[in-house]
Structure 1
Amino acid sequence: MSSILNADDIKKALDAFKAADSFDHKKFFEMVGLKAKSAEDVRKAFHVLDADNSGFIEEEELKFVLKGFATNGRDLTDKETKAFLNAADKDGDGKIGVEGEQ
């Protein structure tokens, strides 16, 4: 992920959401600089987070999304994972496709 995003930005974003149930995906992606990246860079980041290379980020992968940005990232709580999935799963299939909201 550090080849796509600035390592300092990633650390600051992870530090901002250390507390359980504090994660806000929109703020996080803005803080790491992903919102300002090209569609190609967003796709690259998506593929890093898609651990099983299925073309989707499923709920189980989403729980570990912060670890995709840094190995010391915490796991999302079940509440955070479900809220993130509900916000990003535009077609209601229980997973996030590469074209979903990032």
Structure 2
Amino acid sequence: MSMTDLLSAEDIKKAIGAFAAVDSFDHKKFFQMVGLKKKSADDVKKVFHILDKDKSGFIEEDELGFILKGFSADARDLSVKETKTLLAAGDKDGDGKIGADAVERRPR
């Protein structure tokens, strides 16, 4: 399964473009722009599993740095600052990674 099976290629392109500058990434706006806020919990879990490159059931800090590439291969890497901000937002139990259960608790 690819990201464009779940999300609009045009929405992904616009969202990637909106955060092309280093240290401009805003995860809430990005996820809204790509259409994740409108998706079912099941579809969001599918996106999570696409982004979980090592299939560990978690998205660890090193995977987060490349999260935009999970949406589009030509996207940039996140900066260290952006990666740490995103990890802090998603890591609810403080274990240094984001679990699939985080998508079940996501705010609408």
Q: Shared fold (TM-score greater than 0.5)? A: yes
Deviations 1:24-78 (A, max 9, x none): 0010000000011001100000000000000000000000000000101110000
Give the corresponding residue for 1:98: 100
Give the corresponding residue for 1:42: 44
Structure 1 stretches lacking a partner, 5+ long: none
Give the corresponding residue for 1:21: 23
Number of residue pairs matched?
102
Q: For residues 1-102 of structure 1, what are the structure 2 equivalents within 5 Å?
A: 1-101=3-103
Helix, strand or coil: the match of 1:73? Answer: coil
Q: CA RMSD in A?
A: 0.8
Deviations 1:69-93 (A, max 9, x none): 0101110000000000001100000
Q: Which stretches of structure 1, 4 residues or longer, exceed 2 Å deviation after superposition?
A: none
Helix, strand or coil: the match of 2:98? Answer: strand
Structure 2 stretches lacking a partner, 5+ long: none
Helix, strand or coil: the match of 1:2? Answer: helix
Give identity over the alignment, percent: 66
Structure 2: distance between partners of 1:57 and 1:86 = 12
Tell me the CA shift for residue 100 of structure 1.
1.2
Helix, strand or coil: the match of 1:3? Answer: helix
Structure 2: distance between partners of 1:91 and 1:40 = 22
Tell me the CA shift for residue 99 of structure 1.
1.7
